[in-house]
Structure 1
Amino acid sequence: MKVVFEHALPNVEGKRLVSVVVNYPPGAKSLPHHHAASAFIYAYVLSGTIRSQVDNDAPKVYHQGEAFYEMPGSHHRMSENASKTEPSSLLAVFVVDAKDDVLTTPDSAPGSR
């Protein structure tokens, strides 16, 4: 995950916008995780296909040009490259409290839910 943009929202006191690019090699996946409790996230697939499951919704596959979102407090149970042969990437745009420095916490991390 690489931060590509970050800026305080001038018209929403105490909030900032952070954009990150997540690159997945073929077959790669992230651990189940939570994001900062204040985070609303818009995710846009830049390349390839991404399989995602948020909370108890059924897993979905998103293709290049498709998008999804996560509400604050969501549990991202699955985030992975749906292809075993092609890389994939997504742009995740966070609207988050300015004080929230940690954007993503894997479930296996101390203090995670």
Structure 2
Amino acid sequence: MKIKKLVVSASLMFVCLASQADDNSNRPHETVTPNFMKEIPNIPGKSLIAAVVTYPPNGASPSHHHAKSAFIYAYILEGEIRSSVDGSAPKIYKAGESFYEDPGSHHAISENASKTMPAKLLAVFVVDNGDKKLTLPDGQ
């Protein structure tokens, strides 16, 4: 029963960005699948949350930021992801590579670098237990 509650809670914590309009509104959007959620027993007040983010060919996420407490580690599982965080030059990360986002970061570009092949990453969040919305479109 506790595991079902955790999965439902994790599902509710991820905000689907596909409904938000921005410069990527004509492109296919990512799919976020919650994968894991657990309070960290030796770090009171913190949780570890993981989700798989799948981008269809030419897929993109709207420009966004994450919960203010969120430290994020992203590991590319498949394909190639173009990313720019906090004004950095866009970089393409290939399967097996990774990047991170510090708390409060702005993720201006997050997209599949290919127009023909899918891409997938594992996003791992270390976040305050009380943070319910982990991903927020710009302006929220």
Q: TM-score range by the shorter chain?
A: over 0.9
User: Residue 58 of structure 1 corresponds to which residue in structure 2?
Assistant: 89
Greater Rg, structure 1 or structure 2? Answer: 2
- CA RMSD across the alignment: 0.6
* Structure 1 stretches of 4+ moved >6 Å: none
**Stretches of structure 2 lacking an aligned partner (at least 5 in a row):** 1-31
Q: TM-score, normalised by structure 2?
A: 0.77
Aligned partner letter, 2:114 = S
Q: After TM superposition, list the pairs within 5 Å mapping 1:1-113 onto structure 2.
A: 1-108=32-139, 112=140
Count residues in correspondence.
109
Q: CA deviation at 1:89?
A: 0.3
* Structure with greater helix percent: 2
Aligned partner letter, 1:2 = T
Q: CA deviation at 1:61?
A: 0.2
Q: CA deviation at 1:72?
A: 0.2
Q: TM-score, normalised by structure 1?
A: 0.95
Aligned partner letter, 1:45 = I
**Stretches of structure 1 lacking an aligned partner (at least 5 in a row):** none
Aligned partner letter, 2:61 = S
Aligned partner letter, 2:48 = L
Q: CA deviation at 1:45?
A: 0.2
Question: Which structure is richer in relative contact order (CA contacts within 8 A, separation 6 or more)?
Answer: 1
Aligned partner letter, 1:90 = L
Aligned partner letter, 1:21 = V
